[in-house]
Structure 1
Amino acid sequence: MATGSTIHTFDVQLADTDRGVYEDYSLRVARHPSETDAYMITRILAYGLEFAEGIGFSEGISKTDEPAVLVRDLTGAITAWIEVGAPDAERLHYGSRLAERTVVYTHRDPEKVMLPWAGKRIHRSEDLRVFSFDPGFIDQVTPHIERRNTLTLTVTEQVLYLDLNGANLTTAIHEHELG
């Protein structure tokens, strides 16, 4: 954990009917001073939407050769490389060479996130998926973040129903492919 990080805890109830994943778990999230609330909540949503055995946060900005979230199998091999925000093509190329699955969750305009990747080499770019939320959704969520949080994530037919500390919000989960 970086010096000056703020610790947030999230008690999460996940019901992802699309994938048949139902879990209750707690997260201790260290938010670096340079990390925005929008990035942090997108990272937490990516964790829940990709929840699988072996999932974890990387060491963040102190470990630049890992994504925000990753999934490892029992041997320690990376099976899912999960980026948040607007990673560059080089990171995606690197990650997709290491992992079976590479995805990006963004709180930004997905078209603007993907535009710099055009013409760049990304290993298995046809398999890369970018997920985004309705415009303004993340901005509606961030005012409800506290140091201790109760979070319920329900996913049905690519719609996310979120309850964060009593605030109920809904968004579609949009999937984008590289064109």
Structure 2
Amino acid sequence: MALKPTIYKFRISLSDTNRDYYDSLSCTIALHPSETTSRMMARVLAYCLNASPELQFTKGLSSIEEPDLWQKELDDTIQQWIEVGEPAFDRVKKATRLAKHVQIYAFNSKADVWWKQSQGKLRTLPATIHCFDSDAIDALAANVERGMELSVMITGNSLFIDGKTSHEVTWETLQNNE
């Protein structure tokens, strides 16, 4: 019998001072049995960084044909393709053919090795690549509950997350294609 995903619900009060975007978000997220809580929280933070009414979580790990997040137009063209993790070059290349904008958010302790090995090829593609502070993501993930209310403020290259505990998660942009 296959394992079922664990469902998490987040209510997020978002203040993105970089984009002057303020919103109240309700997210129901399925944690795939093979996914870590750190990866799930990296998906949530990528969602906050790109929040818009059209941005959606996809089936993620359950469907290899879809990114973690995407934003589609009314005619079903993909405006934004957002991957979380360290995707292979071929996957990023495919994404750049299918979407107008591609963003990658690396999040774990192996991200620097992935970047060193892949940057030569990835620099040839029109993709924006970011890397979250892996220790901060792990600390945030250690305090996750199945239902949470969070306040997320984005300023500069920092996300300040307040819930039952407070965390700061920083990120670095490794390649900017904006």
Please identify runs of 4+ aligned residues in structure 1 that moved more than 3 A: none
In the alignment, structure 1 segments of 5+ residues that lack a partner are none
Q: Secondary structure at the match of 2:142?
A: helix
Deviations 1:104-138 (A, max 9, x none): 11212442222342454x5962x322212234101
Q: What is the 5 A alignment of 1:58-69?
A: 58-69=58-69
In 1, the alpha carbon distance for the partners of 2:57 and 2:123 equals 23
Q: Residues 49 and 123 (structure 1 numbering): CA distance in 2 closer, same or farther, change over 3 Å?
A: same
Q: Which residue of 2 aligns with 1:157?
A: 156
Deviations 1:145-165 (A, max 9, x none): 0110112110112221111x3
Q: Which residue of 2 aligns with 1:19?
A: 19
Q: Which residue of 1 aligns with 2:75?
A: 75
In the alignment, structure 2 segments of 5+ residues that lack a partner are none
Q: Secondary structure at the match of 1:74?
A: coil
Q: Which residue of 1 aligns with 2:114?
A: 113
Query: Which moved further from structure 2: 151-160 or 87-96?
Result: 151-160
Asked whether 1:175 is paired with 2:176, we answer no
Query: Which moved further from structure 2: 49-58 or 23-32?
Result: 49-58
In 2, the alpha carbon distance for the partners of 1:166 and 1:153 equals 13
* Alignment size in residue pairs: 174
Q: What is the 5 A alignment of 1:3-14?
A: 3-14=3-14
In 1, the alpha carbon distance for the partners of 2:124 and 2:11 equals 35
In 2, the alpha carbon distance for the partners of 1:6 and 1:171 equals 24
In 2, the alpha carbon distance for the partners of 1:123 and 1:156 equals 26
Identity over the aligned pairs, expressed in percent? 30
In 1, the alpha carbon distance for the partners of 2:43 and 2:114 equals 16
Contact 1:96 1:124 in 2 (8 A): no
- CA RMSD in angstroms comes to 1.9
Q: What's the offset of the Cα at 1:172?
A: 2.5
Q: What's the offset of the Cα at 1:3?
A: 4.9
